[in-house]
Structure 1
């Protein structure tokens, strides 16, 4: 079996969330456990860090991987969804899983897949565990797909869990209040396993503390321990000073430029701190890791500059809290006119998303080539009802070309709204 054939088999046979949404989910961990059991339980053959959260879990996972790679460890990284290539989901020391490995896994385990009838995501989780076990990684950073308690990745017992933040997203699946959503995320907390919470929130902190207390899990709320001071952008990197009581100030620079990354950084540093007895990491490795995340792990689409004059930035923010954080960063950048290329999925509450978009921007509404995508014309009409005006395009690249043609060199073009929209950019 060749790679294209294997990929076509997975997409055509299995329900895929990024194509059909919640209908692709298979409740419970039974399928994942069955796959892992047949594979010899590879998830028990290496040590892990488990990362959940509404926003920031992908960036935090990549930062952790970059730090441990910089410290000399053999690091596996599992994230989802991918942007441009399926193999991006599985990285070994920053390099995507070889296509031949995907083909071999599908060919070897086709009968198992057809027997268990898992979802697309359940197969990718099992594939990741099998790959990392065979590659004998020192540590694997495992990002939750959706929620936590019933997520397929939750069959692991990690050395630590990290929960980045809680916001309104996937409310049809995870709950309609922040407390309900937090309870689903708290499902990754394991007995006696340390858990780090990146951000304090009055509606969710008690949920995490109660769950941690029930399971005797040491808990650390990062922003109650670390102060992260933004020193601005210098030479294309964000300069930061980290303060922790009883320790000398730590100066770091981050190549992930969004100001929201400062909140992620605290959780990452706290996680590294609680795991020092397992994976010792020097200050120099931390500094090198966070300064070279994009080069070290291949992370894309997080406040990523695609060109200058006019400046074009791509960011995968796709829900209300993510977009609020994104526009906090946008407001720190000088520009003449803000032009926003945006596409959204159809199966989410778009009113909250539209409410945080600036009314003074010029809009270019588009749609990704996936069944979940909201049509550009429908998005244009909904946005117009809220005073956000612009033209519609059937393709993100056409929308971007139009924005560039209409821009002066001092304008700022932002492409956002959906992972799937960003994934189709030819400039990425």
Structure 2
């Protein structure tokens, strides 16, 4: 699947067109090409500020948002790299707290694409190389880098000794890549996922994890041991109880921290992982006060986001309109927990390689209506994929206008690609 990008800046668009022409050669997995590309660029990954590297199936982006917000609350300068972008490709590269400018982005992409022309790099390898190049050229106190796909073979997995590595929630996702049969790797799907994600472990770098079922925890422990990574597991080396506050504890003591502004109990869990990563490394000093302020002030678009008044929400006045980019079973369960005991309308659009029931089933019994929509510009499910469970509309605007005037909230969900289009249509472009 291609990652889609467009820009109103002609210089950026020229490079995005080159980027869009790249694809991952069939069957090629590994870090050889990204390492060679980075070597041609002078190995910028070896000149980064202290790196916080985060993998996981769900929650890794939110964990990155808390890490950045906490360190910025301390007064530190932080670079951050997230994926995918929602509206503008620039969202992938945040330099010292600000999205990379169009001028610098066009220059970075051109430099990497030109120098890597004979290597046949992928979209993700070029993006990663451009990110590392930007981060190496601008001074900062720390970098927060989100893993894109898996961990072991993700293009970001070339740092030699991050300040800390973290693994968020685990679940089945990206099966076509992460469950490809291979000699010498676990065959049980969830254990294989744990194996792939824990591939970010590095000798001497703390590996901080959430709590998992026994076989997954054992596999992560095995990989951490082979890598020589000190392991800090939730409910073992650290703990966090999420209620009206986050009651956090580790060998250094206890903290009582506020809940995030981001909705959902799982956001307290993600914030706790960020705190544990900071507490178990020694490259960056952060106070308890900054942790509390960072958790309170963190923002992360399209994750149970209540949309503001805008052109799109004006089409269905006097009701809440929520947006979530979750697209797998774990995300569906988190959405279901958030809307427990509440009736709502669902507008859903999903890529063709996703499963609508993972979002619809956890909301069973809560749904006043379901309306499915295509995702313009993406290979998305058509009406038939919903098996008569949903009405069909040509776009989100039409779906909103067709809802009864009953005041019930609306959830738009199923894809980060759809979420990006909704944010753009409602004039809520991430900055």
Provide Cα deviations, 1:343-388, integer angstroms capped at 9, x if missing partner: 111123555455434254110111211333222x13333xx3xxxx
The 5 A counterparts of 1:299-318 are 299-307=300-308, 309-318=318-327
Q: 1:153 offset after TM fit, Å?
A: 0.3
Q: What is the aligned length?
A: 399
1:421 is the counterpart of 2:421:
no
Q: Which residue of 2 aligns with 1:348?
A: 354
Task: Determine the structure 2 residue equivalent to 1:135.
Answer: 138
CA deviation profile, 1:106-144 (whole Å, cap 9, x unmatched): 333442132222111111101110001111222111101
Q: Is 1:193 matched with 2:198?
A: no
**Residue equivalent to 1:184:** 196
What are the ranges of 5 or more consecutive residues in structure 2 without an aligned counterpart?
Answer: 1-6, 180-187, 310-317
Q: How does 1:31-70 map to 2 (within 5 A)?
A: 31-46=33-48, 47-70=50-73
**The structure with more helix, counted as a fraction of residues:** 1
**What TM-score do you get using the length of structure 2 for normalisation?**
0.86
For 1:214, the equivalent position in structure 2 comes to 226
Partner SS state of residue 213, structure 1 = helix
Alpha carbons 1:159, 1:194 under 8 Å: kept: yes
Q: Choose 194-203 or 130-139, whichever is displaced more.
A: 194-203
Residue aligned with 2:307, SS: strand
Aligned to 2:158: 155
Structure 1 SS opposite 2:258: strand
- 2:82 corresponds to: 79
Indicate yes or no: 2:371 matched with 1:364: yes
The alpha-carbon distance between structure 1 residues 314 and 352, as it changes in their structure 2 partners (threshold 3 A), is closer
CA distance in 2, matches of 1:219, 1:68: 22
CA distance in 2 between partners of 1:201 and 1:358 (Å) = 26
Q: Summarize the Cα distance change of 1:122–1:42 in structure 2 as closer, same or farther, 3 Å threshold.
A: same
Residues 3 and 102, structure 1, Cα contact 8 Å, conserved in 2: no
Distance in 1 between the 2:55 and 2:108 partners? 27
Alpha-carbon distance, 1:399 to partner: 2.0
- The 3 A distance-change label for structure 1 pair 180 and 108 is closer
* Aligned equivalents of 2:66, 2:252: Cα separation in 1: 24
1:68 Cα deviation after fit:
0.8
Report if aligned partners of 2:73, 2:293 keep a CA contact under 8 Å in 1.
yes
Structure 2 counterpart of 1:282, from 254, 265, 287:
287
> The residue matched to 1:153 in structure 2 has which SS?
coil
Work out whether residues 152 and 198 of structure 2, in 8 Å CA contact, stay in contact via their aligned partners in 1: yes
CA shift digits 1:66-122 (9 cap, x unpaired):
111111211110010000111011112431111111111233344213222211111
Structure 1: distance between partners of 2:178 and 2:372: 28
Q: 1:72 to 1:122 in 2, by over 3 A?
A: same
Give the Cα–Cα distance (whole angstroms) in 2 for the partners of residues 83 and 253 of structure 1: 25
Instruction: For 1:215 and 1:249, locate their aligned partners in 2 and report how far apart those are by CA, in whole Å.
Output: 30
2:175 to 157, 161, 171: 171
Pairwise CA RMSD: 2.4
Q: Please name the residue that 1:235 is paired with.
A: none
Asked if structure 2 preserves the Cα contact closer than 8 Å seen for 1:16 and 1:121, the reply is no
* Whole-angstrom CA distance in 2 between matches of 1:180 and 1:248: 34
When residues 306 and 368 of structure 1 are mapped into structure 2, their CA distance, relative to the original with a 3 A threshold, is: same
Distance 2:83 2:235 in 1: 26
Check 1:401–1:245 CA distance in 2 against 1; reply closer, same or farther (3 A cut).
farther
Q: Distance in 2 between matches of 1:172 and 1:121?
A: 17
Deviation at 1:267, TM superposition (A): 1.3
String of CA shifts for 1:126-181, please: whole Å, max 9, x gaps: 11100011112221111010000000000112121100021011122112610011
Instruction: Report SS of the residue matched to 2:151.
Output: coil
Show CA shifts across 1:289-347 (max 9, x none). 111112xxxx211111114841111111110011101211111xx64x31011111112
Q: Distance in 2 between matches of 1:110 and 1:307?
A: 38
